[in-house]
């Protein structure tokens, strides 16, 4: 059991979009960075926890929790000439790009915005908070995961 943070620009694909999917599930396609690809292909497992993060948002924030429902498998959009992230160099016999499938668990409301996360001592050292961090699939430690869930719980409006 491991934990991850997945980034998405909400104008491209938001947590609300995930909640609106059939079975609240989608293939996490379009990842075209080798370090992120390696995590998706080799390490992300069914049952792992996912923090859903909105980048280039106002403010950038962790907005939901998801779980992995299918481990790494080839990303079909890499083979589709009409897809945004089509990669003519990838082929089905030896795929370059991988995806996993995730299912929404619940929204974090209010979201945990980036400036606030930066003030949490327990999260010092989190990859998301590192200056220049661009990795779109990043590992989260169990301690970071528990801290974030506790923050979400304590601020939750019900």
Partner DNA sequence: GCCAACGTTGGC
Q: Which residues in this chain contact DNA in the complex, by CB under 7 A?
A: 7, 9, 32-35, 55-57, 59-60, 114-115, 131-136
| Between 57 and 69, CB nearer to DNA | 57
Map residue 121 onto helix, strand or coil: helix
Question: Residue 11 CB, nearest distance to DNA (Å)?
Answer: 11
Q: List phi, psi (to 5°) of 12.
A: -95, -50
DSSP state of 15: H
CA-nearest of 146, 60, 148, 158 to 109 is: 158
Report the residue number, 47 or 118, with the smaller CB distance to DNA. Answer: 118
Long-range contacts of 72-75 (CB under 8 A, 24+ apart): 72/40, 72/41, 72/42, 72/44, 72/98, 72/99, 72/100, 73/98, 73/99, 73/100, 74/98, 74/99, 75/27, 75/29, 75/30, 75/31, 75/99
Residue 67 or 87 having the CB closest to DNA: 87
Q: Are strands 61-74 and 3-8 parallel, antiparallel or unpaired?
A: unpaired
- Min dist CB 134 to DNA, Å, is 4
CB 47 → DNA: shortest distance, Å? 25
Q: Which is nearer to DNA, 47 or 127 (CB)?
A: 127
Q: With respect to DNA, which residue has the nearer C-beta, 60 or 72?
A: 60
Smallest separation (angstroms) from DNA to the CB of 158:
28
CB of 60 to DNA, least distance (A): 4
């Amino acid at each position: 059991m491991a934990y991850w943070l997945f980034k998405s620009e909400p104008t491209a694909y938001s947590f609300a979009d995930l909640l609106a999917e059939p079975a609240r599930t989608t293939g996490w396609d379009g990842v075209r960075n080798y370090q992120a690809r390696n995590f998706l292909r080799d390490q992300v497992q069914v049952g792992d926890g996912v923090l859903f993060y909105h980048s280039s948002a106002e403010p950038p924030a962790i907005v939901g929790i998801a779980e992995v429902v299918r481990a790494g498998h080839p990303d079909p959009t890499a083979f589709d000439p009409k897809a945004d992230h089509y990669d003519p160099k990838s082929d089905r016999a030896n795929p370059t790009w991988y995806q996993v499938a995730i299912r929404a668990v619940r929204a974090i409301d209010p979201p945990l915005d980036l400036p606030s996360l930066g003030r949490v001592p327990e999260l010092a050292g989190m990859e998301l908070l590192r200056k220049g961090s661009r990795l779109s699939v990043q590992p989260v430690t169990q301690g970071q995961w528990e801290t974030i869930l506790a923050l979400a719980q304590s601020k939750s409006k019900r």
